[in-house]
């Protein structure tokens, strides 16, 4: 394969990966964020006490997280068709990726919020804050660095998951690696795909870390 | 509103507190369900006088934290009533509680500042919660940081401030909504002695200048001695003693108070003396007497006169002059021959000068 052709294939696959990861990462996190907040604040004696619903949502989240991604992709094909109008292609692949993102990000957000000192919640209550004000002004503000780190971790995981959606013709870098590198015995394509993925993950991680550090005011030196 | 006898008693015991800011009436607080319940507060009656600094002292687990949290409804009473400036806290719904809380400031042992906000924005938080606009907030926060001496630290984050500075931000934040009452939850317990003194001085100044009522809980005698005009001593969920700080500390009636006082005041005897002390005299023994100087007598040259009266054979074994709630208070432990003649002369002198005395025992 000529270098130009390889480059062309890689570029197209990279764009497909970026497209899938960006859309599913954004939508999945937007849905996962409130679920994570709910999980962290709806236990007994917490801000929005709803212990039963908390347990039910927790169970669903666990179930979704324990389903292997490749099985999830196949299992929800009817739902994917309903939502995307098709069950193959990049657009269709976004549906299972989004669904996998939601519980993953929700659990990370829950952990981030639970890390916050309970004294801050008490202080806000003592000021006369409503539960909603406590969420927006205290919990989300204080958990911001951890939530940014959680988002970074989610995107990195999604880049990995997106390699599997070749199974439904989703395209992307993983799909390219399997079809050319493995099935057509072209190790140079496989190598190129792996290198691009490594660089991509590094970039995402560094950007995420830098952003989280900027938001983190806990360890500043005078 | 009628005041039950128990609370009326508390008022009679503290004549200065006939204008209450907070009244606890037979307050009991139980945690947990029936089988495994734990009584944190047991039938507590307490009056916090308007414009005063009232200290609640007790060991950890005495129920102080629960008591203070009943005032702003962070905890709810199991039975009894907590009345804040005429309002029964237990009768308020969530909305009522929130508006009450905006009239009550609170400061904490671990400051509880938001790490993501600067000093300025931390002080601004209660005002944002109350719905003030940016301009109104700016107009209030500046003077508050000025008041606590942190005007030049407005844009610093809590991690860039010392413990004392963090508590100053906490105090400014608690004052932001111009409360009528300030609750202090072990506010100096995480600070070193020097910083503690400066924070106490600030609280005292705020009390004097703004006329703000302060209710504080602490396990440190020093804190109560320094700033509280009134004190309540707590032990396992009960208030065992309450009244003017000077009265309670110079004449403690309850064992808990005595034990806590002994740890801080200069009246403790040296260890070697305690082991040698006998309750009945034998020939040639010396008598040990604790003299207490209150108010005006603390400043008179009584020791020199005592030496003259007894005839020179007096030694001083322990002593201290302290200030309690702004009044001087001295104690002196002296020993002299336990002969009837010397004792008679000494007692005549005590009666004449009005010194209060306590015979501790006899040593060889």
Q: What is the pLDDT of residues A6-44, one digit of tens each?
A: 999 999 999 999 999 999 999 999 999 999 999 999 999
Identify the residue among B115, B121, B124 best suited for mutation to test binding to A, counting A beta carbons within 10 A and taking the highest.
Answer: B115
Assigned fold of B5-261: Rossmann fold (3.40.50)
B163 near A CB under 8 A: no
Residues of A in contact with B104 (CB under 8 A): 126
Q: How far A185 CA lies from chain B's nearest CA (Å)?
A: 53
Contact B108 A122 (CB under 8 A): yes
Among the residue ranges B8-12, B186-190, B224-228, the one predicted with the least confidence is B8-12
Q: What is the mean pLDDT of chain B?
A: 88
Q: At what angle do helices A90-114 and A77-84 cross, to 10 degrees?
A: 100
- Bigger pLDDT: B326 vs B220: B220
Q: Does the structure's ipTM exceed the value 0.95? A: no
Percentage above 90 pLDDT, chain B: 57
d(C-alpha B302, C-alpha B320), whole Å: 14
Looking at the partner chain, which of A126, A219, A222 has a beta carbon nearest the beta carbon of B72?
A126
Residues B107/B111/B115/B119 CA torsion (nearest 10 deg): 60
CATH code 3.40.50.300 region(s) in chain B: 5-261
B324: confidence class by pLDDT, cuts 50, 70, 90: confident
B335 and B281 in contact (C-beta within 8 Å)?
no
Residue B238's CB is within 10 A of a number of other CB atoms, namely 17
Residue A37 is predicted with a pLDDT of 98
Contact B114 A219 (CB under 8 A): no
pTM score, whole prediction: 0.86
Reported as a pLDDT band with limits 50, 70 and 90, residue B299 is low
Band the pLDDT of A65: cuts 50, 70, 90. Answer: very high
State the architecture of B271-363 in CATH terms: 2-Layer Sandwich (3.30)
A74-97: buried (b, 16+ CB within 10 Å) or exposed (e) per residue? Answer: eebeeebeebbeebbbbbbbbbbb
Lowest mean pLDDT among A145-159, B183-197, B348-362: B348-362
Is A129's CB within 8 Å of B112's CB?
A: no
Q: Where in chain B is the domain with CATH 3.30.70.260?
A: 271-363
Q: What share of chain A is helix, strand, coil (3-state, %, to 5)?
A: 80, 0, 20
Report the pLDDT averaged over residues B60-88: 94
């Amino acid at each position: 394969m000529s270098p130009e052709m390889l480059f062309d294939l890689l570029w197209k696959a990279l764009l497909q990966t970026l497209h899938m990861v960006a859309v599913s990462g954004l939508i999945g996190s937007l849905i996962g964020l409130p679920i994570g907040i709910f999980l962290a604040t709806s236990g007994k004696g917490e801000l929005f006490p709803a212990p039963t619903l908390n347990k039910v949502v927790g169970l669903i989240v666990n179930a979704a997280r324990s389903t292997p991604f490749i099985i999830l992709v196949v299992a929800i094909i009817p739902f994917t068709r309903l939502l995307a109008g098709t069950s193959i292609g990049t657009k269709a692949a976004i549906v299972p990726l989004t669904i996998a993102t939601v519980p993953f990000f929700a659990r990370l957000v829950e952990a981030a919020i639970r890390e916050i000192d309970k004294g801050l919640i008490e202080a806000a209550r003592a000021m006369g804050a409503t539960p909603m004000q406590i969420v927006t002004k205290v919990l989300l503000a204080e958990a911001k660095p951890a939530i940014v780190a959680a988002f970074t971790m989610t995107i990195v995981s999604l880049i990995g998951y997106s390699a599997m959606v070749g199974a439904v013709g989703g395209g992307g870098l993983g799909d390219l690696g399997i079809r050319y590198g493995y099935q057509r015995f072209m190790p140079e394509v496989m190598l190129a795909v792996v290198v691009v993925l490594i660089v991509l993950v590094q970039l995402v991680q560094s950007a995420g870390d830098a952003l989280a550090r900027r938001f983190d005011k806990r360890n500043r030196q005078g | 509103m009628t005041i039950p006898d128990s609370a009326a008693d508390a008022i009679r015991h503290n004549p200065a507190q006939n204008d209450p800011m907070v009244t606890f009436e037979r307050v009991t607080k139980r945690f947990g369900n029936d089988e495994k319940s734990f009584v944190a507060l047991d039938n507590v009656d307490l009056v916090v006088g308007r414009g005063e600094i009232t200290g609640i002292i007790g060991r950890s687990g005495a129920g102080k934290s629960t008591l203070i949290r009943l005032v702003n409804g962070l905890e709810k009473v199991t039975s009894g009533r907590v009345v804040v400036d005429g309002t029964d806290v237990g009768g308020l719904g969530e909305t009522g509680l929130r508006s009450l809380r905006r009239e009550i400031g609170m400061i904490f042992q671990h400051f509880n500042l938001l790490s993501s906000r600067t000093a300025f924005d931390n002080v601004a938080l209660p005002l944002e919660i109350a719905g003030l606009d940016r301009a109104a907030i700016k107009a209030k926060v500046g003077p508050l940081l000025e008041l606590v001496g942190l005007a030049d630290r407005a844009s610093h984050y809590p991690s860039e401030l010392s413990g004392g500075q963090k508590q100053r931000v906490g105090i400014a934040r608690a004052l932001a909504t111009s409360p009528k009452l300030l609750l202090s939850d072990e506010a100096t317990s995480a600070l070193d002695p020097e910083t503690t003194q400066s924070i106490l001085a600030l609280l005292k100044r705020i009390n004097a200048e703004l006329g703000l009522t302060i209710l504080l809980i602490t396990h440190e005698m020093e804190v109560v001695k320094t700033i509280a005009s009134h004190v309540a001593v707590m032990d396992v969920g009960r208030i065992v003693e309450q009244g003017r700080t000077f009265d309670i500390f110079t004449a403690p009636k309850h064992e808990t108070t005595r034990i806590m006082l002994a740890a801080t005041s200069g009246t403790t005897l040296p260890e070697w003396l305690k082991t040698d002390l006998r309750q009945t005299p034998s020939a040639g023994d010396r008598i040990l007497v604790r003299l207490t100087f209150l108010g005006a007598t603390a400043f008179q040259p009584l020791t020199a006169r005592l030496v003259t009266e007894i005839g020179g054979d007096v030694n001083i074994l322990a002593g201290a002059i302290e200030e309690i709630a702004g009044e001087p208070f001295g104690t002196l432990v002296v020993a002299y021959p336990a002969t009837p003649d010397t004792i008679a002369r000494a007692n005549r002198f005590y009666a004449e000068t009005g010194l209060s005395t306590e015979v501790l025992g006899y040593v060889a």
